[in-house]
Chains A and B, each alone.
Chain A
């Protein structure tokens, strides 16, 4: 099955700085890579995703890059704001039980200091 490693587990930045979270995956057949944001006490919600046929995707201050050869992908947040503080999960969607099912990383707690 798929195995996803996520680093760092905790990331502390000053407001306005950039933040980068990295994930690696093991299954070369995985072809969809979503990122979820979970605010304290809330549910995980999708913030951006990328398919395996794309190398980079941007949405305002967030971007995701994918290197299929190296089997790693990253989330980039620019001009961080206090409301970006949350736990971020990466996931890789690979085959499980005959269907494409996401395997999640352990999460990164991002803290943005005002």
Chain B
């Protein structure tokens, strides 16, 4: 298995533009997580899905952020409109049954820079 795949790996955009980050989880994993990592706030959970259904989006910073998972092998995180403070590394992670002791596998991350 190729592991969790994210694209793009780097994104540079201007303030006000729409940004779409993509994630393909490990085949068979039924939980998918989106994280944001910054120096100031560390690793923050934005939202997670179980069997393609959003379960908890309490970490999504504001309405400019939205996430979808149309099928078991694909998820998107969209920021519209983007702002400089959204600059961060965004990680997608998946796990097989978020049970009590299941490991999360992280993707390589997308480094977003909003000018």
Contact = CB atoms under 8 A, between A and B. Distances in A.
B45 A99 contact: no
A64 to B, nearest CB: 13
Nearest to B57: A97
Interface string B98-115: 111101101111000000
Contact of A99 (B31, B91, B103, B104): B31
A34 B91 contact: no
Contacts of B103: 34, 46, 49
Given A98-B55, A101-B56, A106-B42, A43 B100 contact: no
Interface in B14-45: 31, 33, 42-43, 45
Given A89-B43, A103-B45, A107-B42, A46 B104 contact: yes
A101 B100 contact: no
A26 to B, nearest CB: 16
Contacts of A96: 56
Contact of B104 (A97, A102, A103, A106): A102
Interface residues of A, number: 24
Contacts of A49: 101, 103
B50 interface: yes
Interface in A16-43: 31-32, 34, 42-43
Contact of A107 (B33, B43, B91, B109): B43
A51 B42 contact: no
A21 B55 CA distance: 32
B98 A43 contact: no
Contact of A101 (B42, B48, B107, B109): B48
Interface of B: 31, 33, 42-43, 45, 48, 50, 55-56, 91, 98-101, 103-104, 106-109
13 contacts: A31-B100, A43-B107, A46-B104, A49-B101, A93-B100, A97-B55, A98-B55, A99-B31, A99-B50, A99-B55, A101-B33, A104-B42, A105-B42
Given A43-B107, A100-B100, 6 more contacts: A51-B100, A93-B101, A100-B99, A101-B33, A103-B45, A105-B42
